[in-house]
Homo-oligomer: A and B are copies of this chain.
């Protein structure tokens, strides 16, 4: 059963790639209202795909936001575990478009990489699971475990629909473990198992000054410019040591233990490569922590966007009425994203000059998570990754957020095994996002072996 599935996968690489290109061609950008129809098209495409490979009850579940796609196959027999496979079919916006070397929605292979928005995050990795299940079902007519699939369309916008959906469908989604492919390996030959994720608190700040845009010659010098107020407020959110100044921000942060510090120091991480990859002259962050710790085990605050006034070509002597910023914090275990949002909102209002008005909107929030390293599902993952990639996986904290991991823990009581097949330089959320094709094919084989292993 295992060998037949692996053989099927190896002999169908071309058709798998062709199908993945089709999946990637639908611009399912969840953040942009113009792409609502594409979101619907993508969800239906997935239902057709799941039905074609032999899954049962594949359907588009409407929500108040973007639909959730579900499917299942529960005929593995008594004693077999049930695996809940999670992925997301939505993608990030593509701007700045002019920096892409090929159309983000016409996937193109160059030098063994597949270039397209969503190729790695997360359509490409989600598609691995479809091909894994197909490889079993088209050869043996069955799977070694029961599976349930839940593929959402709001991951990139931290949409509010998934958590209530999971809560409302607890029985339908009941499983022994979740499997998620939305993380990355360290190198093509070095797999990685993420055991901790950061949470996220994403806010939009609006600073209002004058009632209308003013002429900077007639009013400049006597008005608190909202752009200046916003710059001052944002600049004050970190001190010279890179420490976030919002009172209470660090109160619930679990300190990095000496043991974990040693583990993190030993994990393969090159600051030089990190700098080269990011293309920066130097690193900068919270004093007293290594770069690795700064991007995984410590909470952060970043400005994600900032705008106001005249941003076109040439000079315009305007003193704008409004200034806007998007800011977000990565949170670590025990920090509550709602509490942090409240602290930030209160602090921003408190530090605003009295001449302006500040409004803060919450755009997204998610808790962090910690996974048990010693379960049978985690051990099986370590085993098959070593078999397929030749090296034992590194166990890592991940800097990014996969909020559903916290939800699965809280609502369904299950851990998530993060079988990630991306690479650190895939360019997630950036122009020229790509997926390393050998990882696509090896990811399929590793996941075939994983389902077989946990079904034994």
Q: Which of A95, A298, A324 has the most CB of B within 10 A?
A: A95
Q: Select one of B32, B213, B295, B299 contacting A431, CB under 8 A.
A: B213
A126-161, CB under 8 A of B: which get 1 and which 0?
Answer: 000000000000000000000000000000111000
What residue of chain B has the Cβ atom nearest to residue A313's Cβ? B31
Give the oligomeric copy count: 2
Specify which chain B residues have a CB less than 8 angstroms from the CB of A429 in the assembled complex: 213-215, 316-318
A278 to B281, CA, bound (A): 43
Count A interface residues, CB 8 Å: 99
Specify which chain B residues have a CB less than 8 angstroms from the CB of A96 in the assembled complex: 213
Specify which chain B residues have a CB less than 8 angstroms from the CB of A235 in the assembled complex: 228, 231-232, 234-236
Q: Select one of B198, B299, B308 contacting A305, CB under 8 A.
A: B308
Is A10 in the interface zone, CB < 8 Å from B? Answer: no
Question: Are A294 and B431 in contact (CB-based, < 8 A)?
Answer: no
Q: Select one of B200, B280, B400 contacting A224, CB under 8 A.
A: B280
Q: Select one of B230, B304, B353 contacting A216, CB under 8 A.
A: B304
Q: Which of A92, A306, A357 has the most CB of B within 10 A?
A: A306
A95 CB to closest chain B CB (Å) equals: 7
Specify which chain B residues have a CB less than 8 angstroms from the CB of A221 in the assembled complex: 285-286, 294-295, 298-300, 302, 330, 399
Q: Which of A33, A231, A300 has the most CB of B within 10 A?
A: A231
Q: Select one of B211, B307, B318, B428 contacting A218, CB under 8 A.
A: B428
What residue of chain B has the Cβ atom nearest to residue A324's Cβ? B311
Question: Are B311 and A157 in contact (CB-based, < 8 A)?
Answer: no
Is A238 in the interface zone, CB < 8 Å from B? Answer: yes
**Given A221-B285, A302-B319, A306-B323, A214 and B93 touching (CB < 8 A)?**
no
A426 CB to closest chain B CB (Å) equals: 9
A298 to B222, CA, bound (A): 10
A282 to B356, CA, bound (A): 8
A420-450, CB under 8 A of B: which get 1 and which 0?
Answer: 0000100111110000000000000000000
Specify which chain B residues have a CB less than 8 angstroms from the CB of A231 in the assembled complex: 230-232, 234-235, 303, 306
Interface residues of A in 362-384 (CB under 8 A from B): 363-364
A330 CB to closest chain B CB (Å) equals: 6
